[in-house]
Amino acid sequence: MKEQRVDPQVFRQVIGNFASGVTVITTREQDTNYGLTASAVTSLTLEPPMLLVCINKNTGTQAVISRTRTFGVNILDQDQAHLAYQFAKSQTDKFQGVDFSYGTSGVPLLTGALARIECRVAADVEAGTHRVFLAEVDSADTSTGAPLTYFRGTFGRFEMVQDEAVYQQIRDHILSRSLAIADALEPSKLSSQLNAAISSVYYALTRLTTEGLASRDLVKGYVITPIDVKTSDDTFDARCAIELGATDRAIGHLGADELAELRKRMEATLPLISGNRFVDFERYVAANTAFHEYFVGLAKSSALLDVYRRLSIEGIMWRIIWRTVSVFDQASEELTADHRRIVEAYEKGDKELARREIINHSERSKLTCRKAIEVSGGLV
């Protein structure tokens, strides 16, 4: 048996970065309509017109298409996300409440779809969990509108992809300090500089504000949030208070699976600080965030977790350390050792020990960020 080189979950995450259109594949057999949502659809050739469609082998729609050799492809409009969700459900009357008509081949075609294509299977082959259909196009029609998209597990508009790209660009400018702290973040200017839609810029600035990297000034509008030692200390003090509260609610009430997951997230942080340096700062921030968020989440209080997230610890750490990470040599390995000691206290059910370790970790985090702010000149 050939060795599997890529973990399926890793591949799912990677391929999720590929934005695609969303379709509903429809067919009919013995007076019964079948359909499902699919994004694995692409044009194959123009002469003759052909499509390639991939459908999970465990679906009734796939089985019917294999027998009848006919199906319809309905390319959804951006306002038809509800249909994408409806046809993604299993074991339901997917056509209930849906407007459709029958095409010349007898397959149902959805009213209001951006485009509708009737296909006849020319060949098919099994590929892992799916069957791949190579189909010739018998008829097609289209209407005006914009397509629904699928990106990172979410249905939306193609503009969502640009929104994300613009957000990343502005975020990188802030973190690299290529934008001065005193400068206003003018939406129209950023739109011109980045050749981006003004709506995408506003999306980015709103998101950066919730992360704490930007803020609203009554006179200047959007500005980069300056971070000094006091701001940093206050933020970590707030995190400490939240985590102490979470500990009071959670410790002694957790199952083995929850403790195992907490340990797994802790262990992911351990190799990322070595010799007083961050081995991989980006990975450290991600692993550290995953550990602390899960830790607070164990209190099973959505309100507490929401307050924690509003502190924007991840964004503040990026802002303080990212630009100087190549020369910063005061990242104590005790930061990750603290994580281990906290988890061990949880596993013992020792609330007082856990509280002491959380406080120690908070003081160590504050000290690390103070040193990084000093390296940057006292303000970042």
Q: Are residues 209 and 288 in the same domain?
A: no
pLDDT at residue 170 in the model: 83
> What is this structure's pTM?
0.51
Q: Please, which residues have CB within 8 angstroms of residue 347's CB and are 6 or more apart in sequence?
A: 259, 263
**Cα separation, 109 vs 376, whole angstroms:** 61
CATH number of domain containing 214: 1.10.10.10
According to the model, what pLDDT value does residue 291 have?
94
The whole-number pLDDT of residue 228 equals 84
pLDDT at 350: 95
- Does 3 reside within a domain? no
Read off the pLDDT band of 18 (50, 70, 90). Answer: low
The H-or-E segment that residue 27 falls in is: strand 23-29
Distance CA 312, CA 320 (A): 12
Last residue of a domain, one of 198, 224, 250: 224
Q: pLDDT digits over 96-148, tens only? A: 889 999 999 999 999 999 999 999 999 999 888 889 999 999 999 988 877 88
Residues 40 and 166 in one domain: no
Asked if the structure places residue 2 within a domain, the reply is: no
CATH number of the domain where residue 84 is located: 2.30.110.10
Shared-domain flag, residues 249 and 163: no
Task: Tell whether 209 is covered by a domain.
Answer: yes
Does residue 122 share a domain with residue 50? Answer: yes
Domain total of the chain = 3
| Domain identity same for 243 and 218 | no
* Domain end position, chosen among 224, 251, 277: 224
118, 164: one domain:
no
Cα separation values, 140 from 28, 31, 76, 361, 371, Å: 18, 23, 14, 63, 64
Between 9-13, 80-84, 202-206, the lowest mean confidence (pLDDT) is in 9-13
Residue 16 lies in a domain: yes
Q: Count CB neighbours of 13 within 10 A.
A: 12
183: containing domain: 158-224
Q: What is the mean pLDDT of the chain?
A: 85
Residue 189 shares a structural domain with residue 294? no
Are 209 and 78 part of one and the same domain?
no
CATH number, domain of 320, equals: 1.20.120.530
Strand segments, DSSP code E, in 239-304 are 273-274, 277-278
Alpha-carbon gap, residue 165 to 188, rounded angstroms: 17
158 band by pLDDT with thresholds 50, 70 and 90: very low
> Is residue 125 a part of any domain in this protein?
yes
Are 151 and 171 spatial neighbours (Cβ–Cβ below 8 Å)? Answer: no
Do 118 and 107 touch, CB atoms closer than 8 A? yes
CB atoms within 10 A of CB 12: 10
Inside any domain, residue 140: yes
Assess whether 199 and 122 both reside in one domain: no
Q: 365 lies in a domain?
A: yes
Q: Which of 134, 151, 168 is the last residue of a domain?
A: 151
Q: Encode pLDDT of 22-76 as tens digits.
A: 899 999 999 999 999 988 888 888 889 999 999 988 899 999 999 999 999 999 9
Mean pLDDT of 249-260: 92
Q: Is residue 106 part of a domain?
A: yes
Average pLDDT rounded to a whole number, residues 214-241: 86
- Which is nearest to 366 in space by CA: 228, 254, 187, 249? 228
The percentage of the chain sitting over the pLDDT mark of 70, rounded to a whole number, equals: 87
